[in-house]
Amino acid sequence: MSKTLIRNASVVFPDRVADANVLIEHGKIVAIDAPESVSAQHVIDARGLVLFPGLIDDQVHFREPGLTHKEDLRTASQACAAGGVTSFLEMPNTKPSATNQTLIEEKYALAAIKSVVNYGFYIGASTSNVQDLKAAVGVPGIKIFIGSSTGDLLVDDQESLERIFAETTLPICAHCEDEKTVNENMSRLPSDRTVADHSRVRDHRAAFIATKRALDLAYRHHHRFHVLHLSTAPEIELVKDHRNLITCELCPHHWYFSVDDYATLGTLIQMNPSIKTKHDTEELWKALVDGVIQVVATDHAPHTLEEKRQPYPASPSGLPAVENYFSLLLDRASRGECSWTQIASWTSDAPARVWGIVGKGRIEVGYDADLVLVDPTLKKTIRNEDQFTKVKWSPWNGVTLTGWPVKTFVGGQVVFEQGQIVSTTCGRRLGFDHARGGFWNTPDGIGV
**Residues marked as catalytic:** 299
Q: Are strands 123-124 and 420-421 parallel, antiparallel or unpaired?
A: unpaired
Residue 251 CA to chain centroid, in angstroms? 8
- 172 φ/ψ angles, rounded to the nearest 5 degrees: -115, 140
Edge-to-edge strands of the sheet including 118-121? 55-60, 85-90, 118-121
Q: How many residues does the chain have?
A: 448
For the stretch 391-409, what's the b/e string if a residue is b when 16 or more beta carbons lie within 10 angstroms of its beta carbon? bbbbbbbebebbbbbbbbb
For the stretch 289-324, what's the b/e string if a residue is b when 16 or more beta carbons lie within 10 angstroms of its beta carbon? eeebbbbbbbbbbbbeeebbeeebbebbbbbbbbbb
Specify whether the CB–CB gap between 333 and 340 falls below 8 A: yes
Largest CA distance in the chain: 72
Paired residues of 416 in beta bridges: 408, 421
Distance CA 196, CA 328 (A): 24
Specify whether the CB–CB gap between 78 and 116 falls below 8 A: yes
Reference 127, options 96, 107, 149; nearest CA is 149
Distance CA 165, CA 175 (A): 15
DSSP for 276-319 reads --HHHHHHHHHHHHTTSS-EE---B----HHHHTSPTTTSPP--
Query: How many CA atoms are closer than 13 Å to the CA of 19, on its beta-carbon side?
Result: 8
Residue type, 141: G
- Residue 190, preceding bond cis, omega within 30 degrees? no
Q: Is 387 left (phi over 0), alpha (psi -120 to 50) or beta?
A: beta
Specify whether the CB–CB gap between 111 and 73 falls below 8 A: yes
Distance CA 426, CA 417 (A): 15
Query: How many CA atoms are closer than 13 Å to the CA of 131, on its beta-carbon side?
Result: 1
